[in-house]
Structure 1
Amino acid sequence: MAQARATFGGGCFWCIEAAFKELEGIESVTSGYAGGHVDDPSYEAVCTGETGHAEVVQLAYDPQTIGYDELLEIFFTVHDPTQLNRQGPDVGSQYRSAIFTHDDTQHELATAFIDELEAADVYDDGVVTEVEPLETFYPAEEYHQDYFEKNPTDAYCRMHAAPKIDKVREQFTDRVAEPSTRS
């Protein structure tokens, strides 16, 4: 089967990228921007909150190895979908919780997943994750790609990305790729 794509925004893209790179079936993870109204935005422009973009990661994955439903489960585990326009210390609409769907099936699965979370009262507060069709994905500047790998001792990465990686390794042991096969 052909490669599939999924696009998620859950705060700083460095942290979400690092968590998803741990997984078997993930062929690549690209940090970037989606959901805004400015063509080809820069990081500096997105950080103003005025472009409307969210920091996102776009996954290329093998759906025979890992399903979209599993990606949703992991996404909702590694970020807090109840925080409006923020994740931890990062505040602004560019850090919003968002799922940018690539087709109607992804849209249906994402909204059904959120409905299930809400019905099960998984969180104390309501889920604020936006679900909308992906119009355009803009890859972030090169220095943002593989940021955690390139900067493992960075204080922000140690405080915010490393715990997400640990959570994936602990809660999704059967989905973690061997170190030599990670994207």
Structure 2
Amino acid sequence: MSTTFVLAGGCFWCLDAAYRALRGVESVVSCYTGGATPNPSYEQVCTGATGHAEAVAVTFDETVLPPEIVLDAFFTMHDPTQLNRQGADVGTQYRSAMFYVDEDQRQLFEAAKLRAAAWWTSEDRPEEIVTQIEPLGEVFPAEEYHQDFFAKNPTQGYCLAVAVPKVNKVRASFAEYLS
């Protein structure tokens, strides 16, 4: 049974690369959602004026990859305590957000956020998780050159500095689910 989650956690190149490493992931589409501007371009989204977040639509086979693992991996591959940013990427387009299609998905997302809060925050990291959970609006696929960007550009500087550590973290944390 295939399910799709639309998730935002910083640059979509990183999420795309990390999810593609997991067995049971059928497709990952880099996209824009959560804003008001129809059919935005990457350049428009980068201004922060569209309201859209860089996101990924992850379609996976629940019989191979449990939904809880997809969501736990999401909280592993980015810092959900950073408001409207991920590292040096700053702006609402880099916010941490989960976009649900129905009440069942909303409940799954809420449960995942609670699980993440239990292991993410501690005395060493007292920050609260700021991940937004909101209804999914219209989704606009990102330009073709953003799709599977890491695989197409493995030696690109951003990929080496930012995406590789996130992919490695997911690989280490979810080794039993690697493809």
**Fold-level similarity (TM above 0.5):** yes
Q: Deviations over 1:106-145 (max 9, x none)?
A: 1011112223433x36222000000011111110000111
Partner SS, residue 55 of structure 1: strand
Q: Structure 1: state its 5+ residue gaps.
A: 178-183
* Aligned CA distance change for structure 1 residues 108 and 94 (closer, same or farther; 3 Å): same
Matches within 5 A, 1:33-182: 33-118=32-117, 120=118, 122-123=120-121, 124=125, 125-177=127-179
Conserved 8 A contact 2:75-2:116:
no
Amino acid in the other structure paired with 1:157:
C
Conserved 8 A contact 1:43-1:141:
yes
Amino acid in the other structure paired with 1:93:
T
Deviation at 1:33, TM superposition (A): 0.4
CA distance in 2, matches of 1:46, 1:164: 23
Whether 1:16 aligns to 2:24 is no
* Aligned CA distance change for structure 1 residues 24 and 91 (closer, same or farther; 3 Å): same
CA distance in 2, matches of 1:122, 1:141: 33
CA distance in 1, matches of 2:35, 2:157: 29
* Greater alpha carbon shift after TM alignment, 157-166 vs 101-110: 101-110
Conserved 8 A contact 2:72-2:116:
no
CA distance in 2, matches of 1:141, 1:108: 31
Amino acid in the other structure paired with 1:171:
S
Amino acid in the other structure paired with 1:143:
Y
Deviation at 1:67, TM superposition (A): 1.8
Partner SS, residue 73 of structure 1: helix
Partner SS, residue 120 of structure 2: coil
CA distance in 2, matches of 1:122, 1:159: 23
CA distance in 1, matches of 2:120, 2:35: 30
Q: Deviations over 1:54-113 (max 9, x none)?
A: 000001111111122111100000100000000011000000000011221110111122
Identical aligned residues as a percent: 50
